[in-house]
Structures are given as C-alpha cells and as structure tokens.
Amino acid sequence: MNIEKSLWSSHGENISLSVPFTKVNREKRTVSGFATLDNLDQTGDVVTSEASLKAFESFRGNIREMHGPTAVGKMVSFKPETFYDPSTKEFFNGDM
C-alpha cells in the first residue's frame, strides 16, 4: 500500500482538498485514504487528531466533489492511523 498526504489549497473564498486513495475495493465500491494528518499545513496550522476525530464522529453525510452540489460518495467509517512520511522521516497521527 502506498500512502500519501492529503493536500489542500485556497484561492480567495474557494478551498480545494485532494485526498489520495490508498486502497480501492472495486467489488464493495469503497476507497480509503487519509482525510487528515496532524502535521503543519501550508498556512502554519495543525489540526489535531483529537479535533478531527470529534468532527468525524458527528459527520455521516455525503462527500461532495470540490465542495459543490455533486455527491460523489458517503463516509461509512473512519479510524485513527499513523502515517510515516519517508521524505521527512517523521510519524504523524491521522484519520483514515
């Protein structure tokens, strides 16, 4: 399994989020990937694993394409995982 970081960027009032899929099950039509990591982001902020877990516990809605009206899937589960970044040789806590 190849695990990569999720990336986000902002342009004015628009935010783009890219979450690389790390596992695809075509039969069940499910995909997996890290939604958050507790690393320093491009603006110098850190979202802790505890904060993202709390947010995910209350969310069971549709996942939207680029925050638009098109639903592309539904979150069915999440769990805390550890991510190792080989480029920095650091471990981060995240939610997958």
Closest CA to 72 of 34, 30, 10: 30
Average pLDDT across the chain, whole number: 78
CA–CA dist 36, 8 (Å, integer): 10
The 10s digit of each residue's pLDDT in 17-46 is 666 666 777 888 777 777 788 888 778 888
**Percent of the chain with pLDDT strictly greater than 70:** 81
Domain ranges in the chain are 7-95
CB 93 within 8 A of CB 30: no
Q: What is the pLDDT of residue 91?
A: 92
As beta bridge partners, residue 15 has: 10
The alpha-carbon radius of gyration of the chain (Å, integer) is 14
